[in-house]
Structure 1
């Protein structure tokens, strides 16, 4: 192991440190050093010795990692088949059989600060027939592809822990899924048509799942709420901020908000809704976090140029303020690559990522530097068809909320 001395700083080269210094460091101090390493470096160093290898199963080490490890605002992407019309594909027997045997796609991790891509296979510990649906606090949520009642899995892809939630009481069609997790609690919401009858008018309802290790509260899909009339939730994603879940509704475009404490839904009018294309919700980190709408604006009048714009929901109100606009030269590149197919957005920390439907191209925006840039091509999708779907991801070795499901499920069986 080497370090830079004063001689090295002056250009004379590095000085090798005495290995006896490192050999005699207290084990607790070594553990604290390992606890703050980036995940990739930690997993490489696990091969050094048996003790370091076993740290992933040490409660004291995982607790130190949870307390000391700096937050890392990464993004995770999954390569999926290009979007198709759900009404023509989901009800067929062949597509259902294919969905039930389809292995989960690998997780493609991007560190926006270094532009480094990592590939994380999931098929060794996740069953087939599940697709990514939500994420929070180092936990990835996967939902069953087969029609009928939905089953959700919560997984920490680094530690390979998996927890199965009980199936939803009602069959669902293309539900929107939201997840928020803390050190000792988690909440999930699933909203969609409840499919009471294939001939009935849409009956849009939502179900919530809550588990709190601190209070012992456990509520498996028992909280049901009715969505506002004349809405159509976008199945892409929900975002969570300050006790409220948000999702897009189309035809006409609006934002639906669900207050967890009051179990109540409301509707927020979207800005410039008559001229929006591919509106998407995202979250920017902060205190408090900001709920964002990102959309293409297309208006025939020359006084309103076509662009991609970002609006932020003002605190304690239902008003939106435009905060960012894609520069014309970047928009021309983006428009050529997107070709009118549509796009989705995901935010994490101060980074916003836009993925193009039918493509593996990604454009990033940094709220601090105000820089729009194309992400480096993912080396693991070279020559592959399909499109990328992104989620916010914070790599964590310890995700105690996953353990709440197993302990709660056992006590209620």
Structure 2
């Protein structure tokens, strides 16, 4: 079609024409013109025309420079996500966090380090400079909203501070008060719940949160959560963003050895934890054996009604399907080299056409 013709079409007619096109064609049309791009990515168009997109569990590894394996839980099949040239050629780049269709990378070229936020569906990305250099950091989390995103991290320099990046104003804000709630060496990422980023400590049990608006910390003790005769070997948080439910995966045992793994649900009304599920003993023994009782390697994530329990030195995932109340294993990716024995990091990837970088 002549560009002069379709550029003069009323939006409602152009909208109707675009609604007949397949999803892949719409994605390719984004680069045709700014007008088409703004129309396709407009909230009105996206809400009127729903596109069923699969969601994936993404596997990252320090030696994966060109692409990432993707597992589709619905089809029980594997795919591959190729990286853009700007990231795949940077051997020092690493995936740090994911949220609502966006991926956040740490990029370390020869000149200076930075972050890169990437939408794999639209193939768009944005480079984000650090607030100062050098910038050693830890516990980075990407939190995406419908029209923006925020990046939380802690500067691990001599004076530790919370650094918050807002994509709306494209600026960093810096707050103090970290050492009082999270000690150095704490390595479990936070989860977003009720406007704050939550962290949990197991020894002693302590639930802490930081508000992403003002950087203020809140702490809550865990009295009455676990039986007094039991010992907490590890505790990890996950959150259901749709139903706004906070879960905790807790390892229970004695003398530092986990004997059982339980899932707890946080009741906001009473600010208490309710036991929701217990991992079968035979599955618990397998999981604790593959992580060699090194619970610092255990981490958890939420993906589409699934609470995933993972280990850095094991390429499989143990997950609990909340709706079906069943436990399953995600099999090892067949394309993984046998020599990859550690450094496995899983992420939830829910592609979104409207997620803007």
Query: TM-score, structure 2 length as denominator?
Result: 0.79
- Structure 2, gaps ≥5 residues long: 1-12
Equivalent position SS for 1:155:
strand
Quick one: structure 1 residues 61 and 123, their matched pair in 2 at CA, closer, same or farther if it must change by over 3 Å? closer
Determine the structure 2 residue equivalent to 1:106. 67
1:159 partner SS: coil
Q: Is the 8 A contact 1:228 1:267 kept in 2?
A: no
Q: For 1:395, what is the secondary structure of its paired residue? A: coil
Q: 1:75 — aligned with what? A: 57
Of 203, 220, 223, the residue aligned with 1:268 is 220
Cα deviation digits, residues 270-301 of structure 1 (max 9, x gap): 544982334322222333x1222213211269
Q: Is the 8 A contact 1:245 1:260 kept in 2?
A: yes
Residues 149 and 290 of structure 1: is their aligned pair in 2 closer, same or farther, counting only changes over 3 Å?
farther
Q: Secondary structure at the match of 2:151?
A: strand
Label 1:61 to 1:353 Cα distance change in 2 as closer, same or farther (>3 A). Answer: same
2:335 is aligned to 380
2:352 aligned residue (389, 396, 401):
396
Bigger Rg, structure 1 or 2 = 1
- Higher helix proportion, which one? 1
Is this contact kept in 2: 1:354–1:362, CA < 8 A? yes
The answer as to 2:86 corresponding to 1:125 is: yes
| 1:227 equivalenced with 2:209 (yes/no) | no
For the pair 1:281 / 2:237, whether they are aligned, the reply is: yes
Equivalent residue for 1:61? 40
Unaligned runs of 5+ in 1: 1-25, 47-51, 82-102, 197-202, 213-217, 403-413
Where 1:226 maps in the other structure, the secondary structure is coil
Q: Structure 2 matches for 1:185-264, cutoff 5 A? A: 185-193=148-156, 195-196=157-158, 203-212=159-168, 218=169, 220-227=171-178, 229=180, 231-232=182-183, 234-249=186-201, 252-264=204-216
CA 1:314–1:105: 2 relative to 1, 3 Å? farther
Task: Output the aligned Cα RMSD.
Answer: 3.3
For the 8 Å contact 2:258–2:288, the answer to whether it is kept is no
- Partner SS state of residue 329, structure 1: helix
Other structure's SS at 1:396 match: coil
Q: Deviations over 1:141-162 (max 9, x none)?
A: 1124699996221001222211
Return closer, same or farther for 1:125/1:71 CA change in 2, 3 Å cut-off.
Answer: same
CA distance in structure 2 between the aligned counterparts of 1:124 and 1:153, rounded to whole angstroms = 13
| Alpha-carbon offset, residue 265 of structure 1 | 0.7
* Structure 1 range deviating more: 231-240 or 355-364: 231-240
Tell me, what secondary structure is at the counterpart of 1:330? helix
Q: Tell me if 1:369 matches 2:327.
A: no
TM-score (norm 1): 0.69
Would the aligned equivalents of 2:118 and 2:126 in 1 still touch at CA under 8 Å? yes
Tell me if structure 2 keeps the 8 A contact 1:357–1:387. Answer: yes
Contact 2:139/2:153 (<8 A) preserved: yes
Shift in Å, 1:187: 1.5
Q: Secondary structure at the residue paired with 2:314? A: coil
How many pairs does the alignment contain?
Answer: 327
Cα distance change of structure 1 residues 70 and 237 upon mapping to structure 2, 3 Å threshold: farther
Structure whose residues are more often strand by fraction: 2
Task: Give the deviation of 1:320 after TM superposition.
Answer: 2.1
Maintained 8 Å contact 2:143/2:151: yes
